[in-house]
Chains A and B, each alone.
Chain A
């Protein structure tokens, strides 16, 4: 659960602002406790509400197994090459004798 800062109250509704997400339209999936918001006339009260943050889809084995992207034996090497691209090798691991 995530503690989300909620700013302000007014007579009819509560305005809730998730930190850093005020410009994000696509929040209903996560912030299921949100209500329609009206900008309050005064900002005074601070409440905390809790929201569910979704994790991975864990029941999609059959779906992913049949997906186009489902990896083959090269997958590990592809990811290793990508990690090497994102990093800088500072030692090859070979011993100089």
Chain B
């Protein structure tokens, strides 16, 4: 490596936030430590709420061009398994609600680039303390989620259930009874909390 290369490498390193540093900062701020009790592995569980799959296809909105692009990645399934079970005689069970998972290292990288280290650390602390009610931090699982990830509840979307049967799509794990309570508490707050505005015919 030449001297200019070494200098540019050091400069780039200085401009980047090390994900291990970011992760340790987040862990130190956790409201309570979820690690070790958030996931389980049960390959027998049917498709439905509580499972993580990869890679599943979903839409991402491009606000500049006002079109959706199609991406595939790690997702958390939200729809109840009874509403996805094809053995059940019920209509409208061909689509599943999912929430794409942002890897922590990718969010740290983008956040740091846009806002710098102080804001990134401040954001990670708020995320860990569960003060951002639209975002759920989920802890690491294995190499497919090495630093944990973020569920953005305003990016919940849907996909066709046949996607889960495609070649290469695999069930990563299930959240535990503890994990699903954490997620459900966020969902209840996000979707069901009382509206501040008085609605028509509301008393």
| A residues in contact (CB < 8 Å) with B | 1-4, 18-21, 23-27, 29-30, 53-58, 60, 63-64, 67-69, 74, 76-94
Contacts and interface: CB of A to CB of B under 8 A. Distances in A.
Contacts of B30: 26
Contact of B70 (A68, A79, A89): A89
Given A24-B36, A53-B185, A94-B67, A19 B73 contact: no
17 contacts: A19-B176, A19-B177, A20-B37, A20-B176, A26-B30, A27-B33, A29-B31, A56-B132, A57-B133, A64-B131, A68-B119, A69-B119, A76-B63, A80-B60, A82-B107, A83-B152, A90-B70
Given A53-B181, A81-B110, A87-B73, A18 B37 contact: yes
A27 B125 CA distance: 19
Interface stretch (B11-19, B42-50, B80-88, B96-104): B96-104
B171 interface: no
Contact of A54 (B119, B130, B188): B130
Interface of B: 30-33, 35-40, 55, 57, 60-63, 65, 67-74, 100-103, 106-107, 109-111, 114-115, 118-120, 122-123, 125-126, 129-133, 149, 152, 155, 176-178, 181-182, 185-186, 188-189, 193
B102 A56 contact: no
A83 B118 CA distance: 22
Contact of B185 (A18, A54, A76, A92): A54
Contact of B40 (A20, A57, A76, A90): A20
B185 A56 contact: yes
A67 to B, nearest CB: 6
Nearest to B123: A69
B71 A18 contact: no
Given A24-B37, A56-B189, A57-B131, 7 more contacts: A20-B39, A26-B33, A68-B118, A68-B122, A82-B106, A86-B73, A93-B62
A85 to B, nearest CB: 4
A20 to B, nearest CB: 4
The 6 A-B pairs with the shortest beta carbon distances in the complex, nearest first, are: A55-B185, A69-B123, A87-B73, A68-B122, A85-B106, A87-B71
B123 to A, nearest CB: 3
B136 to A, nearest CB: 8
Nearest to B133: A56
Given A19-B37, A82-B102, A3 B186 contact: no
Given A19-B37, A76-B63, A88 B131 contact: no
B133 A18 contact: no
A21 B60 CA distance: 36
Contact of B72 (A64, A85, A88, A94): A88
